[in-house]
Amino acid sequence: EIAGGRRLAGELRVSGAKNSALVLMAASLLTEDPLRLRNVPPLTDIQGMAEILTSLGVSVRRGSDSLEMNGSGLSHSAPPYELVNSLRASFFCIGPLLARLGIARVPLPGGCQIGTRPVVEHVKGLKALGAQVTIEHGVVSAVVPGRGHRLTGGRIHLDCPSVGATETLMMAAALADGETVIENAALEPEVVDLAGLLLAMGAKVRGAGTPTITIVGVQRLHGADYAVIPDRIEAGTFLLAAAITRSCLTVAPVITEHLGAVLTKLEEAGCKLEIDGTSVTISADQISAVDLRTQPFPGFPTDLQAPFMSLLATASGTSVVTENIFENRLQHVAELQRMGAAIRMQGNTAFVEGVSRLSGAPVQGSDLRASAAMVLAGLAADGITTVQGLEFLDRGYADFEGKLNAVGASIRRV
């Protein structure tokens, strides 16, 4: 429950990146040695991934902001459906399980609120590395035939630069015989973070962050102690919290290259940004309309489309927002309309005509980022906004209301 209309001031700390941490956790399946990750955010998705790893025989110990995983007891190759069903990222297990055990049975992750989310590219790539893959009764079964059950390096051209497929194939290739080349690979910072961890574990990876990633498989990987990058989406959400309340906030730590397109759009909308190393100070007064098109990195991230639309709903002028990545990621439009936003839809494009005031209302967060967008809108709205669907928010934002309240927001979890 958000009492809107308050100015914010102070500094917001950004946690470790959820999407990085989830895939780095799966990499613990690649080694018998202990793997320690630092800067891991306390989120329900992280807890879900820990449960999946535990079900496979990995021991997981949680410290205050760290996780220690030990894959020496890896004994199962099939995470149970109940656990996989609640967490799409669990499909990451298939690559390392195949690489280490030569066998994996992982339920298809299925769709989610934002779209169908196929795993065609993941499967195609695993086949190119020598796995036999069948999909039956909703389960992907993969096995590496032959003696030793080791994958073999190969050349893979992704039809689309899928983040999940790139990461799955990097982990699979790290223990394969010979060289793997992934073409049209995703460029996202989380892919580069995974390459950083794999290198620290003794893998031979080059080209992460470019469209061609080359991996030369090694016999074994060892343990590592590795810090997760800061969450660029959480950071972007905080910058938008300042902009929508026309406030001044400092957000840190931020790797500014990870947020290039977002910082550019904030400046285009009239925000002033001061960058000092890994901290960004943003101040906002007048906000004007800007057009957004979501794209793979380094384009504008789909994960910030909904939160940015909340800001544009309060801008002067009409913004055109086009969602190009996921087919069903504009469900927040109807909820913003309930708060008085003037938005017209045409296919995957929203025409957002800014209004001078949003008005607080009961609203529903339909997915993780839509929930964050609702909280942002509530910060700016007249009166009380009640956001339902906090189970989504808690998947991706650590202590969201605690952090925002510390800089002057008035948010109560009821």
Contact positions vs ligand UD1 (CB under 6 A):
19, 22, 89, 115, 117-122, 160, 162-165, 186, 190, 302-303, 325-326
Is residue 5 classed as helix, strand or coil in its secondary structure?
Answer: coil
Q: In what order do the strands lie in the sheet with 349-353?
A: 292-293, 318-322, 349-353, 342-346
The whole-angstrom separation of Cα 285 and Cα 242 is 10
Distance CA 241, CA 146 (A): 55
Query: Which amino acid is present at 284?
Result: A
Q: How near is the Cβ of 160 to ligand UD1 at its closest, in Å? A: 5
Nearer to ligand UD1, 164 or 354 (CB): 164
Q: How far is CA 13 from CA 24, 190, 250, 306, 390, in A?
A: 22, 19, 9, 21, 21
Q: Which residues are catalytic?
A: 112
The single-letter code of the amino acid at 290 is V
CB of 159 to ligand UD1, least distance (A): 7
Comparison of 165 and 176: residue with beta carbon closer to ligand UD1? 165
| Identity of the residue, 163 or 339, whose beta carbon is nearer to ligand UD1 in the bound complex | 163
* Of 327 and 382, CB closest to ligand UD1: 327
Neighbour order of strands in the sheet with 139-143: 103-107, 139-143, 132-136
Closest CA to 118 of 88, 96, 144, 90: 88
Q: How far is the CB of 220 from ligand UD1 (least distance, A)?
A: 27
* Whether the Cβ atoms of residue 140 and residue 119 lie closer than 8 Å to each other: yes
Instruction: Decide whether 15 or 19 has the Cβ nearer to ligand UD1.
Output: 19
Write down the least CB distance from residue 109 to ligand UD1, Å. Answer: 8
**Shortest distance in whole angstroms from residue 233 CB to ligand UD1:** 7
Render 26-93 in DSSP notation, one character per residue.
HGGGGBSSEEEEES----HHHHHHHHHHHHTT-EEEE-SS-EEEEGGG---S---HHHHHT-GGGGGG
**CB closest to ligand UD1, residue no:** 164
Q: CA-based Rg of the chain, rounded to a whole angstrom? A: 21
